[in-house]
Amino acid sequence: MKQKIIAMLKADGGYVSGEKMSQRLGVSRAAIWKNIKALKDDGYSIEAVTNKGYRLLQVSDVINEYEIKSGLKTDFIGQNVRFVYETDSTNNEAKRNFHMSDGAVFAAEIQNGGKGRLGKGWVSSEGDEIMMSVLLKPQITPAAASQITLVAGMAVCRALKEYGAVIKWPNDIVINGKKICGILTEMSAEIERVNYIVCGIGINVNTAAFPDEIADKATSIYAVTGIKVNRCSIMRRVLEEFEALYKTYTVSGFSPLINEYKTVCVNIGKNAEAVFSDGRTVHGIAVDVTETGELVIRTEDGDISVSSGEVSVSGIYGHM
């Protein structure tokens, strides 16, 4: 019922009387009023004027299953959405629901245990950001899973292209040298076979101020443009780009995508310092990204390839 009311208000754009709604939807005016109240509680701004009716004041920046899917042009990614207002981590939410369909999307407004790469946390502010995870069930080997991370990074980069987004290997999305999006890919696998992959995407959309620790490293669409944007429309763009790239990847592998990846990857040709999880470091120039998603660093002792799971790379913009 709530979705039908929102659809009517959006389609009309102006005032829709309670009577018209109750006739169209075949329910009492009291039921309409009750649902309007529930929609307001969900965060929609709806004006009620006597003798005119109800009007949706703005395309409210509300995240829910209906808003994410409304107008989404995909075949399977995001066709099944589970939104929970608060969770520990949308990646965990996806893992707990791994039986759901390929391409299912899990989103939240608050993460109280958001996870970042290399065991770090991920802090986000309520109402301003995108926190979502895509459950994927590709027929690939565990070794190939890191490529999905690159595919996801490319999808976000395409979706945020108009704001000047580029990729810092492996998949930090950066604008003007500051991070706007982080991606955490997790996997359940057997020796030869991936059971499922969870690709968690965090995007700073309307964030006006960041905590002191990351204030000089983080940015948002709002910080770049001064304009607040609708988060679900950004989500849909990401999901649509993700599906297009993922379809190519699952049919033909990463090779048709590598050139585009390298074009938007800012590391190539720049200094690189890789810090391994055991504390070892190597210095050199980043010269390439391999088709398996490793960064090739030219050091005094020759080229070494580093994989995204084991290192943090700086050289440009520091360790983000």
Tokens 């502010």, located at residue: 125
Closest CA to 64 of 309, 230, 267: 230
DSSP string, 289-309: E-TTSPEEEEETTEEEEE-TT
Report the 10 Å Cβ neighbour count for 11.
8
Does position 115 interact with ligand BTN (CB under 6 A)? The reply is yes
Q: Which of 53, 114, 284, 293 binds ligand BTN (CB under 6 A)?
A: 114
| HSE-CB of 153 using CA atoms within 13 angstroms | 31
**How far apart (Å, rounded) are the C-alpha atoms in residues 39 and 221?**
27
Annotate each residue in 77-96 with x if it binds ligand BTN (CB under 6 A) or - if it does not, as one string.
Answer: ------------xxx-----
Distances in Å between the Cα of 140 and the Cα atoms of 23, 79, 148, 275, 295 are 52, 22, 10, 28, 21
Query: Where does this chain touch ligand BTN (CB under 6 A) — which range of 42-50, 74-82, 130-138, 250-258?
Result: 130-138
**Nearest 10 degrees: CA dihedral of 11, 12, 13, 17?**
-130
Nearer to ligand BTN, 183 or 238 (CB): 183
Write down the least CB distance from residue 106 to ligand BTN, Å.
9
Within 8 A by CB and 6+ apart from 30, the residues are none
Query: Where does this chain touch ligand BTN (CB under 6 A) — which range of 63-71, 110-118, 160-168, 261-269?
Result: 110-118
Nearer to ligand BTN, 16 or 205 (CB): 205
Site residues for ligand BTN, 152-181, by CB under 6 A, read 172
Nearer to ligand BTN, 31 or 110 (CB): 110
Total of chain residues touching ligand BTN, rule CB under 6 A:
20
Write down the least CB distance from residue 123 to ligand BTN, Å.
10
Tokens 């009291």, located at residue: 30
Does position 217 interact with ligand BTN (CB under 6 A)? The reply is no
**How far apart (Å, rounded) are the C-alpha atoms in residues 205 and 223?**
9
Does position 116 interact with ligand BTN (CB under 6 A)? The reply is yes
Within 8 A by CB and 6+ apart from 64, the residues are 42, 83
Nearer to ligand BTN, 131 or 136 (CB): 131
* DSSP H helical ranges for the chain: 2-12, 18-25, 29-41, 65-69, 90-96, 145-159, 221-225, 231-252, 255-264
Does position 183 interact with ligand BTN (CB under 6 A)? The reply is yes
Q: Which of 131, 145, 235, 238 binds ligand BTN (CB under 6 A)?
A: 131
Q: Which of 35, 64, 133, 219 binds ligand BTN (CB under 6 A)?
A: 133
Query: What helix, strand, coil percent values describe the chain, rounded to 5?
Result: 35, 30, 35
Nearer to ligand BTN, 6 or 184 (CB): 184
Annotate each residue in 7-36 with x if it binds ligand BTN (CB under 6 A) or - if it does not, as one string.
Answer: ------------------------------
Does position 69 interact with ligand BTN (CB under 6 A)? The reply is no
Nearer to ligand BTN, 34 or 120 (CB): 120
Q: Which residues bind ligand BTN (CB under 6 A)?
A: 89-91, 111, 114-117, 120, 122, 131-133, 172, 182-184, 200-202
